[in-house]
Amino acid sequence: MKTEVHIVAGKNKSLWQRLTEELIWLDSKYGHPPYHNRLMKEVLSPEIDKQDRIIDIGCGPGGLSRKLAQIVTEGEVVGLDISEGYIKKLNCSKERDKSGEYKNLAFALASAEDIPYPDNYFDHAVVFESFGFWSEPEKCLAEIKRVMKPSGKLYIVNSYKEAQAWMRIGMKFFNLFTAYKEKLYSSQEFREFFERAGFTVVDQKRVMGSSLVTIGAKK
């Protein structure tokens, strides 16, 4: 399987890589919910229909996937991640669930470069704070475009070069002490990625001052 990040299969991981994954899991689970809430309220909820199919690429602990599934009650949400440990934890949560929270939600172990779904399947694709880890963004975007419907929209949310200084400093600190390195792009670079991949950029906006949302429609 191709890789979207530098994360490798379980038995081949170093202790440093495993610790980094645990750190990212904890940061995502406890640090990202306020961003998820703002993103849902200000960007995603007005755009989503209850019958839509949505893929959450780089879903991590699955918090955003669950929020999306609460809206598309007659649709489908797929949380995709390259980490075997993450997907195992999420599927265990599904098996224990008695509330029905996961009834229209699936989690899949796969790369953004090799999405195990047919052409023109999803209405929306969301990438939350994982784009900067992709080693080959162009290939990932081409694959995302393949699985999206002609009218589909792609939402990429990521830290960016023009973000507040404290965020840029925090990322440099993160990269010093973790196995997986994140790269920052400018707002213009995000636009160029979208255009080269065949998406028309329809909007860009900041979320909580530190992350940029780039929204593109499939051409």
CATH architecture classification, 10-218: 3-Layer(aba) Sandwich (3.40)
- Please give the backbone phi and psi of residue 157, each rounded to the nearest 5 degrees, phi first: -115, 120
Question: Considering the entire predicted model, what is its pTM?
Answer: 0.87
Query: Three-state DSSP class for 199?
Result: strand
> What residue segments make up the domains of the chain, in order of their start?
10-218
Helix (H), strand (E) at residue 76: strand 76-81
Full strand arrangement of the beta sheet holding 53-57: 105-109, 76-81, 53-57, 122-128, 148-159, 211-218, 199-207
Report the range of poorest mean pLDDT among 21-25, 43-47, 210-214: 21-25
Per-residue pLDDT reduced to its tens digit, 14-34: 877 777 788 788 888 888 889
- Our measurement of the distance from residue 27's CA atom to the centroid of its chain's CA atoms, rounded to an integer in Å, reads 14
